[in-house]
Amino acid sequence: MMTSHDDKASNDDYEAVLVTENNKYYFHIKELQIIASGDTIESAHSELLRKKSDLIKDFEEAGSIFKLPLPSSGKTEKQTAIKARETGFFAIKALTTGFILVLVISFAGNKLNQQATSKAQILKKFLRESPAKIARGLEQELYNAGSSELSAERKEKIRENLRILVKQIQPFVEELWPLLPKYRKITPEAEGNE
């Protein structure tokens, strides 16, 4: 069974435009490209309905009803215009949001990069300068220690602290001892026996 035009669009969906010229009335439907005329509005309208009906019938008989243009009423055009405007607004909002997001990410990335670089530089500086500071401090203490005489109590306290320090460090020295090429033949036990 063939699809009737009413299934595709009702006959009232096509917008008929009325024009008067030289005391005659003309109706035309843009989508169907048909025009009808009459001495009165009623006769022109009746002629238009007949032509439209004949055109739809011809399309149905040819099995080409699907080729008949769909009606585009003023409402549809208005809806299309509204949708186009809304789509435009959405596109502008989306682009603006995207631009702001790119700026925020860029700014945050730069800040994080600066902070990471700053922290890394501080750490490098600390690691570079710490051994030198310790060495200078030891050098200063050794220099000062040689210039003044230590009391017997002070000497005993230093010896006591060194004994405690040696006991605490001895397990580490024993583990590292084989790594020292100059002292491989001498063991800590052998040295203690001498």
- Range in 34-38, 88-92, 190-194 the model is least confident about: 190-194
Per-residue DSSP letter, 1:
-
Amino acid identity, position 65: I
Q: Which pLDDT does position 177 carry in this prediction?
A: 73
The pLDDT-based confidence of 46 (bands split at 50, 70, 90) is: very high
Structure tokens at 74: 């003023």
Q: Phi/psi at 147 (nearest 5 deg)?
A: -85, -15
What is the rounded CA–CA span in Å between residue 58 and residue 64? 9
Region 61-80: what's the mean pLDDT?
Answer: 75
What residues does each domain of the chain span? 5-72, 151-186
The alpha carbon torsion through 85, 87, 88, 94 (nearest 10 deg) reads 150
Best CA proximity match to 2, nearest among 68, 48, 51:
68
Region 14-18: what's the mean pLDDT?
Answer: 87
Look at residue 26 and give its three-state secondary structure.
strand
Go through 33-71 and write b for each residue having 16 or more CB atoms within 10 A of its CB, e for each that does not. ebbbebeeeeebbebbeebbeebbeebeeeeebeebeeb
Say yes or no to pLDDT of 133 above 70.
Answer: yes
Q: Which pLDDT does position 2 carry in this prediction?
A: 42
Q: Which pLDDT does position 100 carry in this prediction?
A: 92
pTM above 0.85, yes or no: no
Chain segment 136-158, per-residue pLDDT in tens? 777 777 777 666 677 788 888 88
Q: Which pLDDT does position 51 carry in this prediction?
A: 94
CATH architecture of 5-72: 2-Layer Sandwich (3.30)
The alpha carbon torsion through 176, 179, 183, 188 (nearest 10 deg) reads 30
